[in-house]
Structure 1
Amino acid sequence: MKRAYTTPVSQLFTEDYYPLVKMAWEEDCPEEDITSVSLFPPDKKTSAYLNAREEGILCGSGVLEALRSLSQEDLDSKFFFRDGERFKTGDTIAELQGSLLVLLRIERILLNFLQYLSGIATETAKVVDRFGNRGLMILDTRKTLPGYRKLAKYAVYCGGGSNHRLNLSEMAMIKDNHLVLFEHASIPVKKIRDRFPGRLVELEIDSLDQLDDALKADPDVLLLDNFNLEDTKKAIEIARSEKPRIRIECSGRITPEKLEALSGFDGVGVSMGYLTHTTRFLDLGLDIRTDHSWDL
């Protein structure tokens, strides 16, 4: 099963992290870290260990390259896990070596990115492990923090989930606020295909009463929004009978019970905003090596 409607966010580059990391760098320390520069000389070097305080899926290791660029200091690092790999409580995820002042300065920024993105990847993996292997396509949404869209969707992908459209330009989605302005769904579907041939067109409906009109419009993806379980089953059966090649997606009111029931319909997509908009930070820590005999 393809893990994206369009192009999956299967990798990130330094330039994807850099604008957000630069903003975080300037926000966190506009002048100096007055605590650290008061306590330690600038020439001290040390090691630090990124340790897991709970199990999870790693995501966001590329943030370190952006931090290295901003600090303009030599900062060596070795990750023992790659993005998308599972670690256990107590595992050392990475070792960092370099200036003590730099390590102390980047600590919070590094953790913020890694904890947030690893939290998304870990929560996604829980859903995918339970339902993804039973035929459901677990999709993300555009419910992401401003500026973090690509990073958050990458985290979903690292957790084994699938990517919906990255932005409004990648594919069309005709929602209720569009549809209400047309007599029939076929009108906006045709308008979009005429102007942007080759782009996927998704059509959202929120009741069985709209199903017949929606199927006549022949969208690429039919979205059943906030359907109860009984109506969901009925809509899928009708749609697959009349349009065997149509993709079907469900969203809204997605409970574990509903996922359990939907897993009987192989290939159905389930978009879940909570994967990115309510994820808690995963508990990771950066611990400075303490076996030094410095004269401070």
Structure 2
Amino acid sequence: MIRGYTTPVTEISEKDFEALVTLALEEDLPAGDITTDSLFNSNESCKAELLAKEEGVLCGLAVIHCLIGKTKANVKWKPTLSDGTALTKGAVIGTLEGSLVDVLKMERILLNFIQYLSGIATNASKVTKEFPNLLILDTRKTLPGYRKLAKYAVYMGGGANHRLNLSEMAMLKDNHVAKAGSIQSAVQIVRNANPGKKIELEIDGLSQVSEAIASNPDIILLDNFSDSDTEKAIELIKEKSSKIRIECSGGITPDKLKFLSKFQDIGVSMGYLTHTVKFLDISLDIK
């Protein structure tokens, strides 16, 4: 099963989060850390362990190097685990050694990034493990600026990536179809204007299925279909075309996933993966 419709986010580099780290530092340290600066000397050192306090999937470690560089911290980071690792409670993720003052100043920012991205990866892991025969896709429902990081975290958790942005792939919805005059016209206009780009067509009722198939998009999205209509639509599409991929979306619940899991090679897009996220419990234990 292919993990997504476009090139998946399999890795991240500093350029993907450098601006976010800069903003985080400006937000948290506009004039230093008055508590730490008052109580500790710059020559005091420490060793700190990054620890998993619960089970989950690790993600976001690349941010640590960027954070150390941006703060010019006199600290060395030694990872013992890597992104995508299944964490057990108590697992040592890595160690920071060096200036105690520098570690204290970066602690909260470091944890915010890693706890958040690990939370997304853990979300994706739970769903994909429970429903391995479904293509679990993310959406663009991400915090502004965090899009690539969030999609990377979904991928690290075993999920698949939908389009990264509006430029990567076309998705035709009812307002686009209304402008073009018909489903077939909308697909044809976009295909002519963007040769080589995938086209996904969203429909919201069985009455649109036949015209949707005739328009030959790359993907047909069944939005908010009932279980019975979903089954009928999938049967019709598979009967008429072996190339058109099928995706379901709209208020997807665990019960809906159980129903959809009886089909093969069906995509399911879930905003839940990135917009309903609990920080994974990870701590920095300073010695």
TM above 0.5, yes or no, is: yes
Which residue is 1:39 aligned to?
39
**1:77-124 deviation per Cα after TM superposition (whole angstroms, max 9, x unaligned):** 112211001111111111111111110011010000000000000011
| Preserved CA contact (<8 Å) 1:17 1:62 | no
Query: Structure 1 vs Structure 2: percent identity of aligned residues?
Result: 54
The reply on whether 1:136 has 2:134 as its aligned counterpart is: yes
Q: 2:178 aligns with which of 153, 160, 180?
A: 180
The aligned runs of 1:50-61 (5 Å cut-off) are 50-61=50-61
RMSD across aligned C-alpha pairs, in angstroms?
0.9
The reply on whether 1:81 has 2:81 as its aligned counterpart is: yes
Which residue is 1:231 aligned to?
229
Distance 1:122 1:280 in 2: 9
| Preserved CA contact (<8 Å) 1:206 1:225 | yes
| Preserved CA contact (<8 Å) 2:174 2:202 | yes
Which residue is 1:204 aligned to?
202
- Counterpart code for 2:284: L
The aligned runs of 1:94-243 (5 Å cut-off) are 94-131=94-131, 133=132, 135-243=133-241
- Counterpart code for 1:270: V
The DSSP-based 3-state class of the residue aligned with 2:70 is helix
Which residue is 2:262 aligned to?
264
Distance 2:263 2:123 in 1: 23
Distance 2:154 2:93 in 1: 20
- Counterpart code for 1:107: E
TM-score by length of 1: 0.95
- Counterpart code for 2:38: S
| Preserved CA contact (<8 Å) 2:74 2:102 | no
The aligned runs of 1:247-258 (5 Å cut-off) are 247-258=245-256
- Runs of at least 5 residues in structure 1 that lack an aligned partner in the other structure: 290-296
- Count of matched residue positions in the alignment of Structure 1 and Structure 2: 287
**1:133-160 deviation per Cα after TM superposition (whole angstroms, max 9, x unaligned):** 2x21000000000000000000000000
The DSSP-based 3-state class of the residue aligned with 1:180 is helix
| Preserved CA contact (<8 Å) 1:60 1:114 | yes
The DSSP-based 3-state class of the residue aligned with 1:150 is helix
Alpha-carbon offset, residue 46 of structure 1: 1.0
Alpha-carbon offset, residue 65 of structure 1: 1.1
Which residue is 1:279 aligned to?
277
Distance 2:178 2:75 in 1: 56
Alpha-carbon offset, residue 72 of structure 1: 1.0
Distance 1:12 1:74 in 2: 24
| Preserved CA contact (<8 Å) 1:57 1:122 | yes
Alpha-carbon offset, residue 37 of structure 1: 0.5
Distance 1:35 1:229 in 2: 58
**1:40-65 deviation per Cα after TM superposition (whole angstroms, max 9, x unaligned):** 00111111111111111000000001
Which residue is 1:294 aligned to?
none
Distance 1:171 1:16 in 2: 20
**1:260-292 deviation per Cα after TM superposition (whole angstroms, max 9, x unaligned):** 121121110000001000111111111111xxx
Alpha-carbon offset, residue 183 of structure 1: 2.7
